[in-house]
Amino acid sequence: MKRRCVEVDERALHKMIGTIIDPERLEDDCAVIPCGDGRLLVASTDMLHETTDFPAGMTDWQIGWMATAVTLSDIASMGARPGQVLLAVGLDRPERLRGIMEGARDCCARFGAELVGGDLDAHGELTIVSTGLGTVEAAQIVRRRGARPGDIIAVTGPLGEAQAALVGYDRHWKELLEPQPRVREGMALARAGVSAMMDISDGLALSLYDLLGVNDCGFSVDTARLPLPAGVPEDEGRELALYGGGDFELLFCAPPGILPVAGVDVHVIGEVIRERVVLADGEPLERRGYLHEWGG
């Protein structure tokens, strides 16, 4: 939530969590758990609330879909195959449950996962926590750490569409409300040998800073190369693409030689550099995006 006087944001609180659990655990979109014979389990859990995540006019089916899609997107970002999803629903009105569950089931089915459990509670504000499990060969997992100078930086699709819908570009309403996790793309990119990957839930700029936080190199993007939301004037589109949240495309780095990757829409937007900074058109990029904040 945006507040005028910001004292703490979620990234600062993550640092505190890293004094309580192993900080390396916080470096990726999912927790990574060995499960024998060279395979890894990846697990993600994400909480969404009516007031901050479910815009007015969204159907209950779309709410269930979105809550599931955000978690499958984290699994995709590790190059993993989604397996199971559990949905915990803090329900404000009982008649909403069927639509929410059907949306979650349909999103699971679309991306090869199965809805296998969850929890149910009465709650003043509709709140949904989705938990997803996936699996990946240890040799194939992709983490946020691993970028190397000279790698290209790329994304899997247009940026800023969800935020464009929020500021009134109705043609992007469906992209905002029914995000499509890049599950097939994540697995194909992992097989192709990308060096680092994450999803862009909080906007490109914050995501680049997340990569900066766990790599020993920097990230330089060329704003003229950003895939912009259709139907938006270019300057505004660039602003939405850099700082808007809710897109759920994959952001990755890769040795240039692995491109193209069959069946994946790849937009190269920049290059990994030696200096530990995030640059846009050669200037330091503002660290701003969809960030939960607590103010005084």
Ligand X SMILES: Nc1ncnc2c1ncn2[C@@H]1O[C@H](COP(=O)(O)OP(=O)(O)OP(=O)(O)O)[C@@H](O)[C@H]1O
Contact pick of 28, 202, 247, 271 for Mg ion (by CB under 5 A):
202
How big is the site for ligand TPS, counted in residues (CB under 6 A)?
13
Q: Which is nearer to ligand TPS, 44 or 220 (CB)?
A: 44
Contact yes or no for 232/166 (Cβ under 8 A): no
**Smallest separation, CB 153 to ligand X (Å):** 18
- Residue 238 marked in a binding site: no
- Per rule CB under 5 A, is residue 247 in the interface with Mg ion? no
- Per rule CB under 5 A, is residue 53 in the interface with Mg ion? no
Helix (H, G, I), strand (E, B) or coil at 161: helix
- Spatial CA neighbour of 79 closest among 235, 264, 243, 267: 264
Say which entry of ligand TPS, Mg ion, ligand X, none residue 26 contacts (CB below 5 to 8 A, set by partner kind): ligand X
- Per rule CB under 6 A, is residue 246 in the interface with ligand TPS? yes
Helix (H, G, I), strand (E, B) or coil at 200: coil
d(CA 149, CA 272): 5
Which one of 50-58, 250-258, 262-270, 280-288 is the stretch in contact with ligand TPS (CB under 6 A)? 50-58
d(CA 154, CA 250): 8
d(CA 153, CA 48): 29
- Per rule CB under 6 A, is residue 202 in the interface with ligand X? yes
Burial degree of 274 (CB within 10 A; 0-12, 13-18, 19+): exposed
Q: Which is nearer to ligand TPS, 59 or 140 (CB)?
A: 59
**Smallest separation, CB 199 to Mg ion (Å):** 4
Say which entry of ligand X, ligand TPS, Mg ion, none residue 268 contacts (CB below 5 to 8 A, set by partner kind): none
Say which entry of Mg ion, ligand X, ligand TPS, none residue 53 contacts (CB below 5 to 8 A, set by partner kind): ligand TPS
d(CA 15, CA 23): 8
Contact yes or no for 6/293 (Cβ under 8 A): yes
- Per rule CB under 6 A, is residue 70 in the interface with ligand TPS? yes
List b or e across 279-289, with b for residues whose CB sees 16 or more CB atoms inside 10 angstroms. bbeeeebeeeb
Q: Which residues are annotated as a binding site?
A: 29, 44-46, 53, 74, 118-119, 144, 199, 201-202, 290
Q: Which residues are annotated as a binding site for ATP?
A: 118-119, 144, 201
In the complex, which residues of this chain contact ligand X (CB under 6 A)? 14, 17, 21, 26, 28-31, 44, 46, 70, 74, 201-202
